[in-house]
Each structure stands twice: as C-alpha cells, then as structure tokens.
C-alpha cells in the first residue's frame, strides 16, 4: 500500500491585491482506502506564504486555535480529499505584498506525524 500524497494546487501568478485560491490535495494512489486522524473540526490544515529567501509573509493558522478533537479523514482508492482556502495577498502589516516571487507550502497535521507539500512558486504581478 502506498502512503497518501499531499500536493498544492494554485495559480502560477496573480495581480497585486487579487486573492490567491489555494487547494491542499490529499491523494490516495493506493488500491485501498486510507484514513487519517486529523486535529480540528473541520480538519485543520495550514498554508504558508514565504518570500523566495524563506522570509515569512502569511500563515493561515497564525494566531488561530485548533480544536484538540480529531476528525477522521477517509480517502478512497485513487481518490482525493481537497482542503481549500484563499490568501488575500496581504502580509502581516495588512498591506498588499509587493510584486515578486513567493513560495507556498502546505501542511496537514495527522496523528503520527504531519504531511507536507511544496514549496510551489507563486508570482505576484504588478497591478495593471
């Protein structure tokens, strides 16, 4: 049986101030169903945006509390479970980030260890 795989889906580029829709995809390449115990209800997952040199820009779970209750996430053979969110393109200061290249990472904490995805590139283009 193969382990579940975690991947990111996002646009390659957006304009300054546009939301970035991000999907964290838990795939099951095996021929048997996979079940993971994930904290939170709904299941908690984290997304981070970094500068190209690894500097922090945004974190989905920054300052948030995650319920200690576990949620069982089941993925059928060959299937996937998608976790979605959007980043508003703003840094910690609340201002839109400048044009440039950024990196996106995703994490799905699970009992027994976490799964990670990325980094995936994201380009913020100047406004028209």
In 3D, which of 23, 69, 7, 80 has the Cα closest to residue 42? 69
**Model confidence over 54-105: pLDDT tens digits?**
999 999 988 766 667 888 999 999 999 999 999 999 998 889 999 999 999 9
Q: How many CA atoms lie within 13 A of 124 on its CB side?
A: 24
Instruction: Using DSSP bridges, classify how beta strands 100-110 and 20-27 pair: parallel, antiparallel or unpaired.
Output: unpaired
Reading the block at residue 17, the tokens are: 């101030």
pLDDT, residue 33, reads 95
Residue 42: DSSP 8-state: T
| Res 18: pLDDT | 94
Q: Is the pLDDT of residue 26 over 90?
A: yes
pLDDT of 17 above 70: yes
The torsion angle over the Cα atoms of residues 52, 116, 18 and 63, rounded to 10 degrees, is -100
Q: Is the pTM of this model over 0.95?
A: no
Which residue do the tokens 């976490």 mark? Answer: 114
Structural domains of the chain, with CATH: 5-125 (2.60.40.2360)
Q: How many percent of the chain have pLDDT more than 70?
A: 95
Share of the chain above pLDDT 90, in %: 74
């Amino acid at each position: 049986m193969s382990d579940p795989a975690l991947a990111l889906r996002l646009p390659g580029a957006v304009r300054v101030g546009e939301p970035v829709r991000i999907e964290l995809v838990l795939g099951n390449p095996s021929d048997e169903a996979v079940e993971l115990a994930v904290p939170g209800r709904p299941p908690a997952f984290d997304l981070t945006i970094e500068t190209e040199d690894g500097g922090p820009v945004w974190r989905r779970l920054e300052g948030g509390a995650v319920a200690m209750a576990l949620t069982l996430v089941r993925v059928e053979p060959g299937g996937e479970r998608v976790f979605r969110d959007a980043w508003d393109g703003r840094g910690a200061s609340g201002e839109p980030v400048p044009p440039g290249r950024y990196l996106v990472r995703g994490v799905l904490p699970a009992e027994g260890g976490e799964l990670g995805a990325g980094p995936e590139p994201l380009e913020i283009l100047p406004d028209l």
